[in-house]
Structure 1
C-alpha cells in the first residue's frame, strides 16, 4: 500500500510511486497506490466519526489491511504536505501500529531529509517501523523523462533496494512467511 501526499496534477510524488510500483511488480508483489487527489476527506476536527465522508472508512480499512506502507510526500516549506498529514491524522493506532513503512520525499530544490525525518517521527509515534532505506528525489522537476522513468540510474537502483528492503523487512517484522522458504 502506498499513499501519495501531493494534490498536484502530473505530480512528481505520484511519478515516484509509479517507479516504486514497477519495482514491486518485478518482485511479484502488487503495490496499490491510494491517491488522495481522488478522495473526499475532511479536515481533522477531533471527531470520532466522519459519517458524511465515506472515504474516511475506505482510508482506514485499506490501511488496516496493509502489512507494508509507503508514505510519499512533496516537501513544502521544509515539511510534509498538509494533505498527507491530514490523512494520517484521520488514522489511529488501529490502522498503523506494527506496520512497516518505507518513506519517499520529493523536492523542487536540493535533496535533504526534513520531510523524511518528519514522516519517521509520525510513524514512530503511532508505533510503526520505518525501514532504513529511504528515498529523497531532489530537483524532481528534472528527475523523470517524458515516460515517467527516472533519468538517474543510481536513483533507479536505490528504488530497487528500497522495494526489496520493504518486502524483506515486512516479512520479518510482520511474521509473514517468505515464499519458497
Structure 2
C-alpha cells in the first residue's frame, strides 16, 4: 500500500493550504493510499539551528519518523512574499536526507492574488536538493478566498479535476518509483 505523508505549511486558523491538503488526502485514500496529515498549527517544533537532535520536541520525532517511513509526500504551502512559507521551510530544514531522500513528492500552493509558480518552483529546488522525486503535476490556487465553499469543497469543477489528476499522478508515480504493487 502506498503511504503518503502530507504537511500543511500554514499557521492561519482558516488555512486554505490545509483545506487543499485535506481534499487531496481524501482523493488519495479513494485511490487506496494510506495518508497521514501533519498540521503544523498543532505541532510544537523548534526553529532549526543546524543541530540534528532536538530531544525536547517529541512532535519533531513523530514527524521525522512518519516521513522516513512514507513512500511519498504532499507539501502544501501558502505563498508569502513570492516563496514558500517559513514554517514549512523550517519543518523541512529539521529533516535530513535520511528522512526526505527518494520520497515521491507532490507540491501545492495557495495565494490571495493571481496564481503563479514561485513557491512551487522553490519547493521543487528544495526537494531536488534532498534527492526527492517531485511529480510534474502541481497545484497552484490563486485567489484562494474564492476557491473553497463554506463546506471546504472546491467550487471550480476544472480545479477539482486537477486535484483528481494530481492525486492519480502521485499514487501512480509513487507505485512506479517505489516498486509498489497495486495489491
TM-score by length of 1: 0.97
Residue 136 (structure 1) shift: 0.3
Residue 28 (structure 1) shift: 2.3
- Unaligned 5+ residue runs, structure 1? none
Could you tell me how far apart the structure 1 residues matched to 2:49 and 2:22 are? 32
Question: Deviating runs (4+, > 6 A) in structure 1?
Answer: none
1:177 partner SS: coil
The CA deviation string for residues 109-157 of structure 1, in whole angstroms up to 9 with x for no partner, is 0000000000000000000000011000000011000000101100000
2:73 partner SS: strand
- Unaligned 5+ residue runs, structure 2? none
Aligned residues: 179
CA RMSD of aligned residues (A): 0.8
The CA deviation string for residues 12-67 of structure 1, in whole angstroms up to 9 with x for no partner, is 00110111022112212232111111110000111121011111111110100110
Higher strand share: 2
- 2:153 matched to which residue of 1? 149
Q: 1:31 aligns with which of 20, 28, 35?
A: 35
- 1:2 matched to which residue of 2? 6
Q: 1:177 aligns with which of 156, 161, 181?
A: 181
1:96 aligns with 2:68: no
Q: 1:42 aligns with which of 33, 46, 51?
A: 46
